[in-house]
Amino acid sequence: MENTTFGKFILEYINKHNITLNKFAQQMGTSHTTIDRWLAGKTEPSLKQLNKLANATGTDVCYLVYMLYPEARPQRSPEIVRLADDIATLPADMQKIIQSLLIGFIVQQRGKNADKS
What confidence tens digit (pLDDT) does each residue in 42-76 have? 899 998 999 899 988 988 888 888 888 877 766 66
Domains and CATH numbers, the chain: 4-72 (1.10.260.40), 78-116 (no CATH)
pTM score above 0.85: no
User: CB–CB of 27/56 below 8 Å?
Assistant: yes
Once rounded to an integer, what is the mean pLDDT over residues 26-50? 90
Biggest CA–CA distance in the chain, Å, is 58
**Nearest to residue 64, comparing CAs of 77, 78, 53, 79?**
53
